[in-house]
Structure 1
């Protein structure tokens, strides 16, 4: 008897993790410097091992993390006025990874009420 089965029923197919990033402004000072919290949330059937952060991401140069192993997925970064390219990588317990890139523009003006 010959029975056709899908590959997935014999060998599980690995699925790379998904990732999303929430950005919150914590404070700003009189010089226009803003303290920003980045909170990454990854999902994977294998479970998340860690996150890595590159706060000066350049696609041509590749991912070069400043923070290599972040188990919680949260970072606080101080930003002056300007344009920032940030990347966060999630790695799951199977060693699969995914990267989310963020383009963040910080306005240096302080508005007084």
Structure 2
């Protein structure tokens, strides 16, 4: 027989099921405790929210206010993100370039020709 501490369960208030605690995200505001919705219900809600235009507009406004309130902190966050993903971004850029090399070079030639024409015929 197993003790209650070996396989603790928790009740999901959204789907109304008793599930193992491993099916719940930890609550960041209360260490040692868990959110009231299971992972599956929480993921569905996040997808629904992100598709809602009003939600997206509200988040964009909050992010803009945060950046404007402390632009130096925003620059620091952007720099950390850039440095953390630098290799991944370089690999993605390189893969894109080689997959679209002909189109990119044609665009560059076209831009250079337009600039030469503008420079020669003011």
Which TM class, normalised by the smaller chain length? under 0.3
Higher RCO (CA-CA < 8 Å; seq separation 6+): 1
**TM-score with structure 2 setting the length:** 0.18
- In terms of fraction of residues, the more strand-rich structure is 1
TM-score normalised to structure 1 length: 0.19
Q: Which has the higher helix share?
A: 2
